[in-house]
Amino acid sequence: MTDYSVGWPSVPSTGKGEAMSTITAPAGGRKAQITSVAARLFNEQGFHETSMEDVAKAVGIKKPTLYHHVKSKAQIVAWIHDECVEAVGPPLESYLKSDFTASEILRRVAMDIFRLLEDRPGYLRVYFEHHRDLDPRSRSRIRKKRDEYWANVRRVIERGNESGEFNVSNPTLASMAFFGMCNWGYQWYRPGGSRSASEIGDYVCSIFLAGALAPGTDRTPDPRR
């Protein structure tokens, strides 16, 4: 059986008697370290079950020092949301300015989403499950970016219809279906399998395209990828 590196993420025990290890975070300053570490903790033991004390210990600093850098978990959630939208939004805008076909743009979007799952574990779980934990100002700002991203994907599908590449009667519903296939990956994708994040994203998109492409349309991916 082909291994697509799927399965429910393992959730380690978080009993009070266990020692919490310090998580090594990527370079990029204290803010980046706090964001990365907190996302992993939120993913592993739950957002509401993770305290600021837990985050401080995992980063390797004292709790008062943590509060020098960040005010609350809600602020960390906002940082995570910002990183997610910045990781996938600008690339999509650049694809729209290119001469890529609509199919190729959707392939790239799907691969971007799965690469985000691979490169930043826990980020998309926070993004999808904890937007209500954002403060009102951040929620409004990020909702605008999310809506723009969704509208751009719908625009890609509409472009495919206009060129004759797609045969989609309801681009809005099709956009929702596309995101449903890609975004649910945070529930089952685990890095380290026999298939890369890009390969899985490409495969998921190919299933969507099987229903979207007009009869006779070439399904060959763009060799420039």
pLDDT (0 to 100) of residue 213: 82
φ, ψ dihedrals at 213, nearest 5°:
-70, 140
pLDDT (0 to 100) of residue 224: 55
* Sheet strands (E) in 118-176: none
pLDDT (0 to 100) of residue 193: 85
pLDDT (0 to 100) of residue 192: 84
Q: Count of alpha carbons within 13 Å of 168, Cβ hemisphere only?
A: 29
pLDDT (0 to 100) of residue 185: 93
CB 58 within 8 A of CB 41: yes
Dihedral sign, CA of 32, 35, 39, 41? positive
Averaged over successive runs of 10 residues, the pLDDT of the chain (225 residues) comes to: 33 33 48 94 93 96 94 94 94 96 97 94 92 90 94 97 95 96 92 90 95 71 54
Tokens representing residue 22 in the block: 């310090």
> Count of H helices and E strands in the chain?
10, 0
